[in-house]
Amino acid sequence: MRRALLVLALCLAAGAAGAQTSKVKGGKPAWAELTVEQQHTLAPLKADWESLDPDRRRKWIGIAKRYPGMKPQEQERVQRRMQAWAKLTPEQRRQARENYKRIAKVPPEERGKLGEQWAEYQALPPSERQNLAPPQTPARKKK
């Protein structure tokens, strides 16, 4: 759950960066076409870069362009979130994007309540968090 929210926050940042980013060469730069600085900033995404669609690449490039102007704490946060994003499976990434879309539709006053609830959840010991998680349904056996 925590990872999903971190990813959600990173998606927010990527979306904002994408809105500010102009068209990148043909919309699909290969890893080798990135500047050395961009490659350094986006290093956690290197293994997945070629499989990213052009819009996602532009969003990440937008973040890389803003990165040098960020405060050190912001840079660390971006790097942590990018690393967490890179570790997610494609299904987890899809789910994070869906969660972001769902949360973006929630009125701001209700989002504040969600933030408070999230903080309360984070304060719980891991065993209590696990008790609150929905039960896992066993996979069906094929006949």
Please list, in sequence order, all residues whose beta carbon lies within 8 angstroms of the beta carbon of residue 28, skipping any fewer than 6 positions away: 54, 57
Q: In this structure, is residue 20 part of a structural domain?
A: yes
Q: In this structure, is residue 65 part of a structural domain?
A: yes
**How far from each other are the two terminal CA atoms of the chain, in whole angstroms?**
34
Q: How far apart are CA 61 and CA 102, in angstroms?
A: 25
Q: In this structure, is residue 137 part of a structural domain?
A: no
Q: In this structure, is residue 84 part of a structural domain?
A: yes
- pLDDT one digit per residue (tens) for the chain, 143 residues: 555 444 445 554 444 444 433 344 444 799 999 999 999 999 999 998 998 889 989 999 999 999 999 999 999 999 999 999 989 998 999 999 998 899 889 888 888 888 888 888 888 888 887 787 766 555 444 44
Please say whether the beta carbons of 59 and 18 come within 8 A: yes
Residue 54, domain extent: 2-132
Q: How far apart are CA 32 and CA 66, in angstroms?
A: 20
Q: In this structure, is residue 98 part of a structural domain?
A: yes
With b for 16 or more beta-carbon neighbours within 10 A and e for fewer, the 99-133 pattern comes to bbeeeeeeeeeeeeeeeeeeeeeeeeeeeeeeeee
Q: In this structure, is residue 138 part of a structural domain?
A: no
Q: In this structure, is residue 139 part of a structural domain?
A: no
Work out how many domains the chain is built from and give that number.
1
Please say whether the beta carbons of 84 and 7 come within 8 A: yes
pLDDT at 77: 95
pLDDT at 22: 37
Q: In this structure, is residue 120 part of a structural domain?
A: yes
